C-alpha cells in the first residue's frame, strides 16, 4: 500500500500556502494497464492526487509552486474561470482541463495532451461520457500538435500510434482508427506492439468503444483470435 502524506507549497499565482495529498512510490502492474496508458492498481486512483488546485485563486497545475508568467493572467480570464467552475464534469476533471488550457498557451502540447487525457479518465470514472469524449478529442488534437512540432509524447512511435488508435476508437471514430492501425501494422513493429495493434483492429471491426487492457490483448493473442 502506498503511503499518503501532505505537502505544503506556496501558489505561484497568488502566493498563498496550500496543502495537498501526495503518495509515495507506486509499483504498477504494467501488463494490465489500459490500452491508452492508464495504469492499473493503485496507480489508477493516484491520478486524483496528481493535479493540484489552489483553494484561493483556482490555479491548477501538476505543481502549483511554479509556472509561466503568462499563467497569472490566464487564471483570471473568463475562459479559465468558466472551465474551473464547469458543471459538465467533476472538479478534478476541471482541474486537469484548466491545467491543459494553461499548457496550451505555453505551447507545451504533449503535457497539454496528457492532462486532457487524464481528464477523460476522470470523466470515465464518474460516468460523464460526453465530457470524456470531448477530453479525448482535446488530447488527440494536442498530441497531433506535438507531432507537428517534432516532439514525442510517448516512449516510442509505436506507442504514439497505439494511443492515437485507442483515443479514436474510444470516441467511436472507427474508420479513422482503423486507417492508423492498418498503416502502423504495415510498418516494422515489435511483437508487443503487433499484438496490441491487432487487438485494436479486432475491437474496431466489432465497433467496440469500451475500455480494454494490455492484458486482454495478450489473452486474445494466446487464444489465437488473430
Does 62 reside within a domain? no
**Number of compact structural domains in the chain:** 1
Predicted pLDDT of residue 187: 87
Does 115 reside within a domain? no
Does 219 reside within a domain? yes
DSSP β-bridge partners for residue 18: 9
Model pLDDT for residues 139-158, shown as the tens digit of each residue: 999 999 999 999 999 999 99
Does 14 reside within a domain? no
User: Can you give the residue range of the structural domain that contains 218?
Assistant: 155-226
Predicted pLDDT of residue 27: 54
Does 60 reside within a domain? no
Residue 154 CA to residue 151 CA, distance in Å, equals 10
Does 169 reside within a domain? yes
Question: In the predicted model, what is the mean pLDDT of residues 71-81?
Answer: 98
Assess contact for 22 and 34: CB atoms under 8 A. Answer: no
Angle, CA of 149, 69 and 10, to the nearest 5°: 120
Residue 123: exposure state from Cβ atoms within 10 A (0-12, 13-18, ≥19): buried
Residue 107 CA to residue 2 CA, distance in Å, equals 34
Higher pLDDT, 202 or 1: 202
Model pLDDT for residues 10-55, shown as the tens digit of each residue: 999 999 999 998 876 655 545 589 999 999 888 898 999 999 999 9
Does 137 reside within a domain? no
- Which residues, in sequence order, are CB contacts of 80 under 8 Å at separation 6+? 58, 74, 98, 101, 102
Predicted pLDDT of residue 226: 82
Residue 78 CA to residue 112 CA, distance in Å, equals 19
Does 207 reside within a domain? yes
- Picking from 51, 105, 114, 100, the residue whose alpha carbon sits closest to that of residue 74 is 105
The pTM is what?
0.94
Percent of the chain with pLDDT over 70: 96
Amino acid at each position: 500500500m502506498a503511503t499518503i502524506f501532505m505537502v505544503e507549497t506556496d501558489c505561484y499565482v497568488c502566493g498563498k500556502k496550500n496543502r495537498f495529498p501526495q503518495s509515495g512510490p507506486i509499483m504498477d502492474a504494467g501488463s494490465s494497464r489500459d490500452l491508452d496508458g492508464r495504469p492499473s492498481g493503485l496507480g489508477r486512483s493516484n491520478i486524483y492526487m496528481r493535479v493540484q488546485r489552489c483553494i484561493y485563486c483556482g490555479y491548477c497545475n501538476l505543481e502549483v509552486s511554479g509556472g509561466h508568467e503568462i499563467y497569472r493572467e490566464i487564471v483570471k480570464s473568463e475562459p479559465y474561470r468558466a472551465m474551473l467552475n464547469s458543471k459538465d464534469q467533476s472538479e478534478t476533471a476541471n482541474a486537469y482541463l484548466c491545467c491543459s488550457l494553461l499548457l496550451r498557451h505555453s505551447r507545451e502540447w504533449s503535457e497539454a495532451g496528457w492532462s486532457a487525457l487524464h481528464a477523460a479518465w476522470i470523466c470515465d470514472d464518474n460516468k460523464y461520457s460526453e465530457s470524456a469524449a470531448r477530453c479525448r478529442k482535446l488530447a488527440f488534437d494536442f498530441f497531433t500538435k506535438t507531432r507537428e512540432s517534432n516532439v514525442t509524447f510517448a516512449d516510442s512511435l509505436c506507442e504514439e500510434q497505439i494511443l492515437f488508435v485507442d483515443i479514436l476508437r474510444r470516441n467511436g471514430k472507427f474508420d479513422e482508427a482503423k486507417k492508423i492501425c492498418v498503416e502502423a501494422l504495415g510498418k516494422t513493429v515489435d511483437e508487443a506492439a503487433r499484438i496490441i495493434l491487432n487487438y485494436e483492429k479486432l475491437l474496431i471491426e466489432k465497433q467496440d468503444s469500451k475500455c480494454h487492457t494490455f492484458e486482454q490483448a495478450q489473452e486474445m493473442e494466446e487464444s489465437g483470435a488473430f
